[in-house]
Amino acid sequence: MAMKYSVSRIGVFDQCRLKYKYQYLERLTPEMETTIEAFMGSRVHEALKALYDGVKNRRVESKDRLLSLYDELWEKNFSAAVKIVKKGIAAEDYRIKGRACLSDYYDAYAPFDAAKVVSTEETVNFSLRDGAEEYQFMGVLDRLDWNDREGMFEIHDYKTSGSLMTQDQADADIQLAVYQIAIAARWPEARTNAKLVWHYLLFNKEIASRRTVEALDALERDIIAKIRDMESCSAFVPNRSALCEWCGYQSICPEWKHIRAVEALEPNAYMNDPGVALVAKYAELESRKKEHQSEIAALEAEQAGVKEAVLAFAEREKTNVIDGPGFRLLVSVREEMEAPYKSEDEARWKGLRDLLIAEGRFNEVSTVNNRMLSSRMRSWPKALWERMTPFLVRRRTCDVTLKKKS
């Protein structure tokens, strides 16, 4: 049987490839049956379907009846399996929000005669083709209308999301545009003349968009490219994001598996968990490292002061070796002509670079730096060295080495 794709399937692949593998390739059952947001959305969709099924048959239910139906659907389907992710919000709060969505919608669109209802919650199956390749696609339309006044199809989608899409996002959204492609397979005029409508019910706001034929053609190519990417994917890595809280595969996901395994443990059992113990030990060592790092920094600062005193003593006593108990200090002082750093003296740096280019030597060193000088200049003519000198800087290097007595 040919694999069927959908906008939801593509969305999961883009959201998290490991979730895509669990859900669509391995077909694992998620532990979380549904979230309260999804539950509320389903009940609102069911109530609106019932409303528009009546409208299609020239029967408009009252708002009170619509809200009563919603309450009945809520009570019938609600169970302890519905997960509430957000803290401080109860199931009843969501039920009330759903009622408000339906009440506002009813007031905005009654008596529901702006267009003719073609179908509600219809599953559409269609194909996307690229040469000899054919990909099966499916989707569910919340509502399809025929607007006989404007002579166009309207594809409606209900959203109970707490965020509101912008017009730019609507114009770029693929879901309803894909459904337009599906409708055009049955009614070709829909390819050139259809309206895409999102109803953001929590905001009581309608957002509409249109697509050109060229845009739909480009969308088909993009979706086929995405499907090929999905089919060729072999690295199903997890993508940690805020959406993880609503994922039903946390107990097997490497990003969440241990977190979920220990979160219900009693305090003593939690601290005795091997993983928890390892984290605690690692964190302790990290803390101790930070403490020692501050000590080391203080010791290095003190040692730097002693080094200055060593250099002063060696210069004053004209000695390169200073004797001490069990150890000696070897002092090395050298002066060399070096290339300036660009940030130190940009004029000299550019002058040296330009000279090397003019002499055909720049390619030997790639860039002007001290490693280049030490490795290359010994073989260059003395005359070139003399011409380079004005662009060089004199830098004094002092080293102190601690050596154990033999």
The 327-338 sheet, strands edge to edge: 321-323, 327-338, 393-404
Banded pLDDT at 374 (limits 50, 70, 90) = low
**Gap between the Cα atoms of 365 and 373, Å rounded:** 8
Three-state DSSP at 73 gives helix
CA-closest candidate to residue 98, choices 60, 43, 34, 53:
43
Q: How many CA atoms are closer than 13 Å to the CA of 372, on its beta-carbon side?
A: 16
Average the pLDDT over each of 64-73, 213-222, 321-330 and give the range with the smallest value.
321-330
114 Cβ neighbours under 8 A, 6+ residues apart? 145, 147
pLDDT > 70 in the chain, percent:
96
Exposed, middle or buried by CB within 10 Å (0-12, 13-18, 19+), for 234? exposed
Cβ proximity of 194 and 153 under 8 Å:
yes
Strand partners, 336: 395
Q: What is the pLDDT of residue 94?
A: 93
Q: What is the pLDDT of residue 39?
A: 92
Banded pLDDT at 288 (limits 50, 70, 90) = confident
Would the pTM of this model clear 0.85, i.e. be above it? no
Cβ proximity of 51 and 117 under 8 Å:
no
The structural domains of the chain, with segments of one domain joined by +, span 114-233, 320-404
**Gap between the Cα atoms of 35 and 359, Å rounded:** 74
CA-closest candidate to residue 19, choices 224, 28, 38, 35:
28
CA-closest candidate to residue 178, choices 226, 130, 139, 129:
139
Q: Which one is the CATH code of 114-233: 3.40.50, 2.40.10, 3.30.519, 3.40.1350?
A: 3.40.1350
